[in-house]
Structure 1
């Protein structure tokens, strides 16, 4: 049985990821608490809406504040439209980037590499299997959009 190592590794990976996929990953149960713990300090209720942020980005960046993302509707804007893929580009660990470069917000997903990977896995599961991509609106395909799950 020369495929035994492959089968064992595949089974081990499936078992390790089972907790995230055993139940549907939702915004309310999984993403919102993670967002509040890791992201709300800069992207919460005191942050400007994306239009206001875009008008005076340098000012807000200097203050250490990003655009507001503290609701499902606000966060979806950074996944689907108008800032398609921005959430994925910013949180990616580098595994989806051609140069292996992590996004500028990846480091804020946790105190260490293990915590960041666990938290990234939650965001990836919420976005959907095979839906995590770094494409912008003009480059994303209908097939890629169809893979998005984003359960509330």
Structure 2
């Protein structure tokens, strides 16, 4: 009887394995999403700066409605895991994060799709790429922002960012 119960549990686990979501990767998930929703302002054009170039003259690029490049894995990592850690997720946040101002979505959330359902689904992909499915990014940055504490080493280690 004990063997039969064990076999039943193991069989259930094997059947459940294919149902688990695959890891979200830059190549399979983020690159197509960024190309479709973000390339207009963050593409590899002659005018699109790297994150370092953007920081040197933010006002100029903001006036031109040109954001830092996110067309390659390396450029995207500069946005997500560089000196501006947290800004990427704050701007894309759906407004449910406790640090979201007045529960409002970030200023770039609206570009993640035409409908709320599409935006929510795409934000879920982005969030899973950054910190893994089922986890929520805390929105912290390198330095403290108001009542939001700076990012911790533990939070940095949670980041996935798979190619």
TM range (shorter): 0.7 to 0.9
Q: Pick closer, same or farther for the CA change 1:94–1:131 going to 2, 3 Å.
A: closer
TM superposition score normalised by structure 1: 0.81
Unaligned residue ranges in structure 1 (runs of 5+): 1-17
Deviations 1:31-83 (A, max 9, x none): 00000000011001021112222222222111111111111111112222221
Range that drifts further, 129-138 or 74-83: 129-138
Larger Rg: 2
Q: Match for 2:120 among 106, 117, 139?
A: 117
Q: Distance in 1 between matches of 2:34 and 2:75?
A: 12
Q: Match for 2:140 among 113, 135, 139?
A: 135
Q: Match for 2:156 among 122, 145, 152?
A: 145
TM superposition score normalised by structure 2: 0.76
Unaligned residue ranges in structure 2 (runs of 5+): 1-17, 144-149
**Aligned partner of residue 22 in structure 1, secondary structure:** coil
Q: Distance in 2 between matches of 1:79 and 1:71?
A: 12
Q: Distance in 2 between matches of 1:50 and 1:78?
A: 7
Indicate if the aligned counterparts of 1:131 and 1:144 stay in contact, CA closer than 8 A: no
Number of matched pairs: 134
| 2:146 corresponds to | none
